[in-house]
Structure 1
Amino acid sequence: MALAFPREMVSAWCWTNAEFKLVHRQEVSRTAADTQVRDLGPALWHASFESDPLPKTKADELEADFETLGGALRTFFAVPMLRKDPARWTGEGMAGCSVNAIRSDRRAIRIAGLPAGFELSAGDFVSILTSVPGRELLKIAVGGTASSTGLSPWLEVTDAIRVSVKVEDFAKLHLPFVEMRLVPGSLEKPRDSVVRWRVKFDATQVVR
């Protein structure tokens, strides 16, 4: 069977580290009296992954899967595995969530289709399927509790919501993912012990 690109490649494995960091692309100019900052483009998610210690055959398998990406040539979908579900999630269905509203300053969002009374917390991730097509990943900064009809209050997010995100776009909170590209040369398989290896890599968000 031919491999598909991009495809989700991380949730089937256990990770010691799967840190997602929002990197701002900014130019800073300092004078004796002031500091001026200018955005050079939208902030991008950067991820650093390191697997749990694996037997040699499993480490080889994981490494081989990521080698199919051809370094930075092809893209894949990455899940923030250390926060792959909302903190308050207990397994109830959230398959029908969507963007209900985006505040005019594009710094807050309302989500429909949640279980009644469900609480979203600061640090939870939301993945948005856009019509570009593409995937945007939002991190909640100020959470809230859904109404009896499943509508969230305004949820402040950590960075401005891109214009590609629209009302009625599908929102994914369980295993949220974003399209990424390997940082060239970052894929490694260091030895952890006599019989165990780790697979590690860095990746950067792809913007469509």
Structure 2
Amino acid sequence: MTADFWSPVRLSVQIAGISGILVFIIGIMLARITAKKRFRGRVILETVFLLPLVLPPSVVGFLLIVFFGKNGTLGQVIEKVFSQPIMFTWWAAVIASTVVAFPLMYQSAKTGFEGIDEEIENAARVDGAGEWKLFWYVSLPLAGKSILTGAILSSARALGEFGATLMFAGNIPGQTQTIPTAIYIAMDSGNMTLAWLWVGVIIAISFIMLFIVTYIK
């Protein structure tokens, strides 16, 4: 197999890895807040967090273009800071994957934090643990399985992201072409052998990730 074949595979794994790290950090932070605090507008905020799970990928891609495109406020700020637009770049693919994968990480982490017995956390507080130590040494380990499940599932979702990535990052070989977009182009050009090879790779990677999730439950 040539370097051209492995380029989308390598790029997909890299994008899923970076997205997974971002989603892991942001998801845990927000899940911890919403799981343990009650505040006005919480339900609305949670609904917004979960929206990418049900919105069509084309809608997610459209919104990313609106916010991060040349006419968007964030897009203009990024272009001023980095002297280039973010659309049709590697980082655009990372952002698209992060947005669509976030709900899986958030929901899993929130379920894990909500499942912790409050008496255990209160006992730790009585023993003198501050909120930071409580989070690191009590809450995080107790919610560990749910968090690990969310991390794997969200990374798998990022690996398979197609619609929003195609709209926002494009399909530039060697730069933004991931396995899903490569499969689409191969099928469109009638190269079914190449398409099947990429399909086999992504099925194998996804199977391994889902097997780990099933095994740790």
TM range (shorter): under 0.3
Q: TM-score, normalising length from structure 1?
A: 0.27
Higher relative contact order (CA 8 A, sep 6+): 2
Answer 1 or 2: which has greater helix percent. 2
Answer 1 or 2: which has greater strand percent. 1
